A and B are shown apart, each in its own frame.
Chain A
Amino acid sequence: MAVNPSMPVLIVDDYKTMIRIIRNLLKQLGFANVDEAGDGTAALNMMRQKDYGLVISDWNMEPMTGYELLREVRADDCLSRTPFIMVTAESKTENVIAAKKAGVNNYIVKPFNAATLKSKIDAIFGE
């Protein structure tokens, strides 16, 4: 499965700064079709309206966390195969394992750089 730069990507984070950073990094990687959501609930609603090729989500948000969003996505037949990257400051071992068990495709620890984001996207799409 090759990376398709025209695929819609959804960034989910309650910090506008992080959304801007990730959006700019994605733009430099060639992704122009990028939407954003401020929490898991908003993201889930958007995902039910539009077919996203990749979700990049923070964990620590209210009212629905990125972890809860991940579980909702994986439990939904229409959304369950959407590639999902967690980008978070949460680096506790149990959280990483829980996210993996819940079906996250990759996990990025903040602070991160452009190369890390690119490598995780490439890893998901097999490049």
Chain B
Amino acid sequence: MPGRGKLSARSGGKGRASAKRADNGRSVSDEITVLVNTLRELAAIRSTAEDAAGRILDSAEGLLAFADQEEAKKAEDAILSIMTACGFHDLVGQRVTKITESLDKVLATRMSAAGRSGKRAERPAKATKAKLTLDGPGLPESSQDQARIDALFRDN
């Protein structure tokens, strides 16, 4: 999509990376820097989410231990709800991993175009031996809820 920073390669001849230009006028070298910084940001998001989920769980576990007897059941339900909501860390992590892997591929392509050998390009994307393809969390409009899974499970 021209004009929106698409990372399309213009490979032609050998030359310095800075001499090569992407569609949007940025040098390939600039784009590599952007991609590397983006990957760092994604790693930071994952780390922040993990830290936040861990601290929320610490607090929820503490609350669970101190739950007042009379209100214990209500408190327990609320605390368990907080705990299960911390599963966002797993889902965010899986989505970030998908984005990271896509960007890794783009980065490898750009580094190759720029004539850099970069280890990233040599790293296997992920174990791909005879496995079912995994998509991770689906988008809200396309993923199946538990009721549909239960029906699928019953009918097969």
By a beta-carbon cutoff of 8 Å, the part of chain A in contact with chain B is: 13, 15-18, 20-21, 24-25, 28, 59-60, 62-63, 65, 67-68, 89-98, 100-101, 106-114, 116
Q: In the assembly, what is the distance between CA of A25 and CA of B131, in Å?
A: 30
What is the predominant secondary structure among interface residues of chain B facing chain A? Answer: helix
Chain B hits for A68, CB < 8 A: 131
Q: In the assembly, what is the distance between CA of A111 and CA of B86, in Å?
A: 9
Q: In the assembly, what is the distance between CA of A16 and CA of B153, in Å?
A: 28
Shortest Cβ distance from residue A79 to the other chain B in the assembled complex, whole angstroms: 21
Known: A93-B144, A111-B88. A62 touches B136 (CB 8 A): no
Known: A67-B132, A109-B149. A15 touches B80 (CB 8 A): no
* Chain A to chain B: the 10 pairs with minimum beta-carbon distance, closest first: A89-B137, A91-B144, A17-B89, A15-B90, A17-B53, A114-B80, A111-B87, A18-B90, A97-B156, A91-B143
Q: In the assembly, what is the distance between CA of A100 and CA of B132, in Å?
A: 13
Chain B hits for A97, CB < 8 A: 152, 156
Using C-beta atoms within 8 Å of the partner chain, give the interface range for chain B. Answer: 35 or more
Contact B94 A89 (CB under 8 A): yes
CB-defined interface of B34-68 with A at 8 Å, one 1/0 digit per residue? 00000000000000001001100100110010000
Q: Does B145 contact A (CB under 8 A)?
A: yes
By a beta-carbon cutoff of 8 Å, the part of chain B in contact with chain A is: 50, 53-54, 57, 60-61, 64, 76-77, 80-81, 83-91, 93-94, 126-127, 131-138, 143-146, 149, 152-153, 156
Chain B hits for A114, CB < 8 A: 77, 80-81, 84
Q: In the assembly, what is the distance between CA of A116 and CA of B84, in Å?
A: 11
Known: A20-B57, A60-B136. A111 touches B84 (CB 8 A): yes
Contact A21 B57 (CB under 8 A): yes
Task: Show 17 residue pairs from A and B whose CB-CB distance is below 8 angstroms, ordered by the A residue.
Answer: A17-B53, A25-B84, A68-B131, A89-B91, A89-B138, A91-B149, A92-B138, A93-B144, A96-B156, A97-B152, A97-B156, A100-B156, A106-B153, A108-B146, A109-B146, A111-B84, A113-B84
Contact A112 B84 (CB under 8 A): yes
